[in-house]
Amino acid sequence: MSAGIDATHDPALRSWVPSANEAGSDFPIQNLPFGRFRLGGQPWRIGVAIGDQVLDLRLALEARALPDGLGQALAPLAAGNLNAFMELGPAVRTPLRRALSGALAAGSEAQARLAACLVPQAQVELGLPCTIGDYTDFYVGIHHATAVGRLFRPDHPLLPNYPWVPIAYHGRASTILPSGQAIVRPWGQRRAPEAEAPELRPTARLDFELEMGIVIGGANALGEAVPIERAGQQVFGLTLFNDWSARDVQAWEYQPLGPFLSKNFASTMSPWVVTVEALAPFRRALSRPAGHPQPLPYLHCEADAAGGAFDVQLEVWLSTERMRAQGLGAHCISRSNFADAAYWTVAQMVAHHTVGGCALRAGDLFGSGTLSGPRPEQAGSLLELSQGGKRPIELPGGEQRSFLQDGDEITLRGLCERPGAARIGFGACTARVLPAAPR
C-alpha cells in the first residue's frame, strides 16, 4: 500500500450503519471525521460522523464497545476536548481510526453496543469542531492573487514576493462561527471614489471567500522552527472555510497594514474536521507554473513536493430570498480544486509560520486564502466572478449579483474522489446574511 494508506481506506469496506453505504454520502466508513455536537442545552460532546449519524464517543467509551488500550485517546474525547486529543498526535489517532473503522464495519461484534451510541445528525446542534486558539489567513491561491492583482495592477498582478513567501495576516479567532449561524452585515468606513471624506456605513460590497481551513494538531515550543520534513505532522485535518469580506471597507483600510474591519466581523467554518489520515488517498504533487523559482530550502523537501497537495473538489452554492420564495434550489456559482488553486502546500504554511520562532498550539487555525481555479468561472469570490462589480452574475429567477444582498445564503461544499478510492466529503459550510444592526 502507498504511504499512509491502509485497510481503513479500502473502497470495498462497508458499514453496518446503512446510510454510510449510500452513494453520495459525505461520511462513509472511509472518512470518520471529528466534530463537536450537543442535544438541547447539554454540554458539548465529541463525535465521529458516520453516514447520517454521529457516533457519541463518550457513550462509546462507557459502553466498552472499542478495544482495550485506547484509553489515552478516548479519555479527552469523552470529556468533550478535541484539542487535548489532537495534541496526542498521529501515533495515538491512527490506532483509534483503525479501531473505529473495525468497530463500525459490517459484521463487527461491536455493533450491538455501538448502535446505542449513535445519534441522528438531524437531531443535534453542530458547533465549531474544537476551540480555536489563533487564526492566520494565508494567500496561497495563485489564481485569486493574480485575478485580484490584475484589477489594480494590470501589468504586474503578482507582487515580487509572491513566489517566495507564503503570505498571510493574523485574523480574529473570536468571530469564527459554526456553519448554520447567520452573519450580520458589518459596518465600516468606506469612501466613494468621488468623495473627499469617508463615511461610516454598512458595507455595500459584502463578499464570500472560498477557502480551506487547516486545523493544527501539534504544538511547537516558542523559538522552535518546525522543519518542512515534519511540518505536515503538525496538521490534524482540513475543514471548509468561508472568510467573509467587506470589499469597500477593505479597499479603504488595507494600506499600509492589510485588512482589519473588512475581515474581522465573521468567518464560517464547517463542523467536521476531515483528518489527514482520511485524506491520504487524495494527495498529489504540488504543481507550480513554469518558470517560477524553486522555494528556499526551508520550504522544500522532496516528499512534500511529491505529495503535499490535497485533491479536494470545491463548490460554492448561492440561494437568494427570492429564489427560496419561488421554490428554486440553490445555484452553483463556482467550482474549483484545492490542489489546482494552491501555490503553497499545507506543510509549507506550517514551516514558514514557525521559521521565526512562532509557537503553534493544537486548535490553531489557518485559512488557505481564496481558492479560485484558473478559469474565470472558477473564481472563489464575487469580487472575481463579477470583475469588481462590473459584470454581475446571472441567477435563476432573473436576479443578478455583483455582491451579496441581505437574505442571501452561501454554502460551500467539498469532496474527494478518484478511481480506486471511496468518495469522501466535508459536509456543508453554510451561512445566511442578515441586515446590518442599527448604529
pLDDT tens sequence across 107-164: 999 999 999 999 999 999 999 999 999 999 999 999 999 998 888 788 888 999 999 9
Please state the CATH superfamily assignment of the domain spanning residues 7-126 in this structure: Fumarylacetoacetase, N-terminal domain (2.30.30.230)
Nearest to 244 by CA among 290, 292, 183: 183
User: Which residue in this structure is represented by grid cell 463525535?
Assistant: 47
Let me know if 144 is a catalytic residue.
yes
**Strand ranges, E, within 175-248:** 176-178, 183-184, 187-190, 199-202, 206-207, 210-216, 235-242, 245-246
Write down the pLDDT at residue 148.
87
Q: DSSP character for 105?
A: B
Mean pLDDT of 95-103: 97
pLDDT tens sequence across 144-155: 999 988 887 888
Mean pLDDT of 407-425: 98
Q: Which of 9, 143, 144, 352 is catalytic?
A: 144
The pLDDT of residue 68 is above 90: no
Cell of 175: 468571530
CATH 2.30.30.230 occupies which residues in the chain? 7-126
What letter represents residue 296's amino acid? L
Write the CA distances from 90 to 176, 218, 346, integer angstroms.
26, 9, 16
pLDDT-derived band at 3 (thresholds 50, 70, 90) equals low
pLDDT-derived band at 1 (thresholds 50, 70, 90) equals very low
CATH 3.90.850.10 occupies which residues in the chain? 135-434
Helical axes 71-78 vs 90-104, angle rounded to 10°: 80
Write down the pLDDT at residue 2.
57
- The C-alpha atoms of residue 158 and residue 369 are separated, in whole angstroms, by 15
pLDDT tens sequence across 350-392: 999 999 999 999 999 999 999 999 999 999 999 999 999 999 9
Give the per-residue SS3 of 3-34: CCCCHHHCCCCCECCHHHHCCCCCCCCCCCCE
CATH number of 135-434: 3.90.850.10
- The C-alpha atoms of residue 418 and residue 212 are separated, in whole angstroms, by 20
Write the CA distances from 70 to 101, 328, 369, integer angstroms.
14, 48, 37
- The C-alpha atoms of residue 85 and residue 256 are separated, in whole angstroms, by 40
pLDDT-derived band at 437 (thresholds 50, 70, 90) equals very high
Q: Of 21-30, 59-68, 96-105, 230-239, which range is least confident? A: 59-68
The pLDDT of residue 288 is above 90: no
Q: What percent of the chain has pLDDT over 70?
A: 99
